[in-house]
Chain A
């Protein structure tokens, strides 16, 4: 049986871009459907952001229990006996994975309810454009396959991205895992090799190490988190990884692997030499590529650039006026919150409201230990954009009472501002809970705040947020809780622009 359904708006992909677009379109009175081939909530809710955060929370909790609890005087009793150093804490991986799964399911069922409550039709299946105005959807509900036809006045392509593979390594989720397979592991591999020192590899590698794996990271380049994070922030994480026992090999290019007894042996090239390393599982996290080769996009003439991103304008419109693209498939940065912002944007544009993508910053967070977060420009970006004179300062978490009481004093907040106007250009953080602190920086940048605006806002004590205020004070040369060179009155007066020598 085949049928045709018609909509005002058809969203392809129910990830953090697509489901948000669908809900907003429905709120604005459009007859809307969303087509999803796998999970409501997409990679993010099911096999990405959310479940990895669950695993990271558990691993962090375990580590606190192991390392910090004894120092705090918390002793865990086993069989009525007290142990001063409870190293024998058992991790029930099956239970942990079940709990992690419940977190994802709870979020995904929330999405289902929201879509339903807003009157969005959910079609489960694989969509492909048969023409610029029509989709064929191979539905997969109830165990039987069917083809339905969907027509719509506007389409929103939100089909996301998938992991990149490299020659010699094909993801099978058994031997070679993507993030999806790694998150589903119900036992801790004895030894795990992570290929690629980007944020996904480091997040998963770090928690697996805490749960008991030996972890080796093979990074093809000379640095971790290359190009996405402030170098000084990355150094703090590198030190902590080393301290925690994660081995990082730089300039190491993985070539191939083969079975060797009960293990796998990876060959990699390092500075012209071929080296070998054994492991039980391989995690391949060398990046993600947009799914623009699917859904029949090329066939209907949607323009795609050389990196595989759909070409879009500031309203996220493709070269076909009635087709929009958002999220990972529409360009960097491939981040869920950017996709959601674009989802709202396109739903409003489709509804005839004048909108354009004009944000000043897409903040980014990396859930390493400690976390890294940033908003605005890196120092090098400031220079390349012609800001010749910068004010840069750092304030350490080690001088913050709340961080000390959490026993998490690694890291700092760095603020970069334009020396001429004192306008905040970039904020880079590494340290405890910085993922939750970065929003203040993003707001400051969007509002065009000057460092004085941050410095003269009372931040409650004792909180980690005080570090932001102190870092702002430090750019002005007069932070309280670090020793700075005394300034003349002219220099300190209301943050007046005075060139320091």
Chain B
């Protein structure tokens, strides 16, 4: 039987690595072609990696929780000669069975080496041996090992991604050094001391999967982006009426209309007026990238954590189309079925925390976007009638909005003008309809 190495395939554009969230097979298992072998999480999506061929799993080459670059060997298969081999190598002798059991208990660490010795995996080696693709000189690799820094997870700052001596030194003792998988921008954090001496007073759970990605993304964004938030209240009486009418009209076609698509439309019109809100900073090139397309992300709360599905080209879609897409994407996100493609390429994000509660929040920008719009709960409030004499209150439906901005690109006064222009459309349906596409 020929052995076949199953590698982590190129999962999507721009994806360079994935985290093994869960093995779906173990050593000794017989797998069919296209049978999923592992759940791998990339960026914010979890995908199932299929086996390209049928065979018997000989060895798992990575552990759950390992972050591995694409093209890394995930497992080794004894490719089934001619298709169906029902009886695997088991039961042929003590030696074979033993080595199988061994592999199940302690899968080999994911290390790629120039030579190919048989793996015994008796002891965890940390840091793992440098992958053959890592660009670091022999002396740098040794320095990293002596400092306990895993060169496989550092993104090198040198030419062509080279890991420099400085990169290693900067990662010493940092999250990048201790917890494999933490990226190089992670600041040096003090190690947590044991806070309780009582047994079972604490429970330790590995930081895995979507939670880890959220942690990384949020930490990176806060590290890079100077945030500020501006907030204001809008009279949404007209919007409420509009939505109610639309809701009734749409019910016939079975669609559910929320406020979000209208807010998106108001936002897109405002973005045309303020293009720097629909932009990114390319730090490498030192350039501002103005985007001429409008992909609107929306925060979705899922059992696994926050996900941000994207309505692509929302400017070219009707309110009805957007509503349907929101429902569809939100369901997929909740069920853990959402693909990476559905969460990529947002140009700005809206978080509708108000559907849960809270009058104001200061959200974190979805980097590399430069702003995030917050919308909060709708309340009845007594509002002074501005055209009449002071003292007369009118019961009014109001909603709070916030715009959190990247101060590198957006100044306070610009943000204030942006929010004013945005709320003008929210409050005044005539204005909203005028430049709606």
Contact = CB atoms under 8 A, between A and B. Distances in A.
**Chain B associates with chain A:** yes
A331 interface: yes
B253 interface: no
Q: Give the interface residue-count category, chain B.
A: 35 or more
B23 interface: no
Nearest to B98: A303
Interface in B385-411: none
Given A303-B99, A358-B130, A448-B160, A317 B71 contact: no
Interface stretch (B33-41, B115-123, B345-353, B367-375): B115-123
Contacts of A422: 160
Interface string B15-38: 000000000000000000000000
B117 A309 contact: yes
Contact of A356 (B98, B133, B138, B145): B145
B117 A321 contact: no
Contact of B115 (A319, A331, A421, A446): A331
- Chain A interface size band reads 35 or more
B118 A314 contact: no
B230 interface: no
A317 B53 CA distance: 32
Contact of A360 (B108, B119, B132, B161): B132
A311 B109 CA distance: 14
Contact of B118 (A309, A362, A447, A448): A309
Contact of B10 (A312, A385, A386): A386
Contact of B71 (A311, A332, A385): A385
A313 B135 contact: no
Given A303-B102, A319-B102, A313 B114 contact: no
A314 B115 contact: no
Interface in B162-204: 162
A305 B145 CA distance: 28
Contacts of B161: 421
Nearest to A386: B71
A312 B120 CA distance: 4
Interface string B94-131: 01001100100000110101111111111101011110
B170 to A, nearest CB: 19
Most chain A CB inside 10 Å of its own CB: which residue of B108, B133, B137, B161: B133
B2 interface: no
A426 to B, nearest CB: 12
A196 B111 CA distance: 34
B43 to A, nearest CB: 19
Contacts of A330: 117-118
A193 B209 CA distance: 62
A309 B114 CA distance: 16
B156 to A, nearest CB: 9
A326 B243 CA distance: 74
A284 interface: no
Q: Which of A311, A385, A422 has the most CB of B within 10 A?
A: A311
Interface string A294-308: 000000000111010
Nearest to A421: B160
A320 B121 CA distance: 10
Contacts of B213: none
A355 interface: yes
A354 interface: yes
Contact of B120 (A307, A313, A359, A385): A313
B205 interface: no
A313 B123 contact: yes
Contact of A357 (B95, B115, B127): B115
A428 interface: no
A88 B114 CA distance: 49
B203 to A, nearest CB: 31
B137 A332 contact: no
Q: A313, A355, A386: which has the most chain B beta carbons within 10 Å?
A: A313
Contacts of B70: 386
Contacts of B117: 309, 311-312, 316, 330-332, 357
A231 interface: no
A307 B116 CA distance: 12
B319 interface: no
Interface in A158-188: none
B388 to A, nearest CB: 69
A446 B137 contact: yes
Interface in A426-448: 446-448
A448 B108 CA distance: 26
A311 B148 CA distance: 25
Interface string A312-350: 111111111100000000111100001000000000000
Contacts of B95: 303
A165 to B, nearest CB: 23
B143 to A, nearest CB: 11
A357 B113 contact: yes
Contacts of A358: 111, 113, 129-130, 141, 145
Interface in A251-271: none
15 contacts: A304-B118, A310-B120, A312-B118, A313-B119, A319-B120, A319-B122, A331-B116, A331-B117, A332-B115, A355-B142, A356-B129, A358-B113, A362-B115, A448-B135, A448-B160
Interface of B: 7, 10, 70-71, 95, 98-99, 102, 108-109, 111, 113-123, 125, 127-130, 132-133, 135-138, 141-142, 145-146, 148, 159-162
Interface of A: 303-305, 307, 309-321, 330-333, 338, 354-362, 385-386, 421-423, 446-448, 450
